[in-house]
């Protein structure tokens, strides 16, 4: 499939186009501006690029709204479950963002590589945080068990009581 001419423009120029879309410029205004700069683009090409850009923006907005809703719903959950869910959702969010950005940066391998490195770094940090949390939870549990056993010993709960019972009184053994 042949790529839109906008994707063939330098990355800096595409970033400027995206910024103009953010500022509310129309497809016609951006087309005229690009032609003034000497770019050979058509209004329909800019319009197609804008549709892709709108989709990427919508995906990012949806991911943010999902994260906000998730955080609100997790407020009353136990911390260990929250940590696990957040880790899973962050990983899913990274995958979703990467897949939506794939089309936006298809013709800009340098920018795609930078985004991939950032996503990999974020994934690594999320995984490390989850592992650290799990290790701390285990240490806290071990400490609580150890402390509970120590407190039980200090409270005298370690005493073993032995009682001798007369077998005849219980009616069990012969005399």
Residue 123 has a CB neighbour count (10 Å cut-off) of 16
Q: How far apart are CA 80 and CA 74, in angstroms?
A: 11
pLDDT in tens, 17-36: 999 999 999 999 999 999 99
Domain spans in the chain, listed from the N-terminal domain onward:
5-150
8 A C-beta contact, residue 89 and residue 67 = yes
Measured between its terminal Cα atoms, the distance across the chain in Å is: 101
165: which 2 tokens? 């019972």
pLDDT value at residue 104? 60
Q: Is 160's pLDDT higher than 60?
A: no
Tell me the average pLDDT across 141-169. 59
Tell me the average pLDDT across 152-168. 54
pTM: 0.46
Looking up tokens 């974020």, which residue turns up?
122
Q: What's the 3-state SS for 100-131?
A: HHHHHCCCCHHHHHHHHHHHHHHHHHHHHHHH
Whole-Å CA distances, 9 to 17, 39, 108, 116, 166: 10, 8, 9, 21, 100
Q: What is the DSSP letter of 25?
A: -
Quickly state the pLDDT bin for 57 (edges 50, 70, 90). confident
Q: What is the DSSP letter of 6?
A: G
3-class SS shares of the chain: helix, strand, coil, % to 5 = 75, 0, 25
16: which 2 tokens? 């400027």
3-class state of residue 52 by DSSP: helix
pLDDT value at residue 43? 94
Sign of CA dihedral 81, 87, 91, 96: positive
Q: How far apart are CA 61 and CA 65, in angstroms?
A: 6
């Amino acid at each position: 499939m042949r790529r839109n001419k906008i994707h063939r423009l330098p990355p800096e120029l595409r970033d400027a186009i995206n910024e103009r879309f953010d500022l509310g410029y129309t497809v016609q205004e951006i087309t005229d501006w690009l032609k003034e700069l000497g770019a050979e683009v058509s209004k329909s090409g800019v319009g197609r690029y804008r549709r892709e850009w709108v989709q990427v923006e919508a995906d990012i907005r949806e991911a943010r709204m999902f994260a906000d809703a998730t955080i609100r719903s997790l407020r009353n959950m136990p911390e260990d479950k929250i940590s696990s869910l957040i880790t899973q959702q962050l990983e899913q969010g990274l995958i979703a963002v990467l897949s939506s950005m794939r089309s936006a940066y298809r013709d800009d391998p340098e920018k795609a590589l930078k985004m991939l490195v950032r996503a990999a770094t974020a994934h690594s940090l999320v995984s490390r945080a989850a592992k650290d949390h799990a290790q701390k939870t285990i240490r806290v549990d071990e400490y609580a068990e150890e402390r509970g056993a120590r407190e039980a010993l200090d409270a005298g709960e370690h005493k073993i009581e032995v009682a001798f019972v007369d077998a005849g009184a219980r009616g069990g053994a012969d005399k």
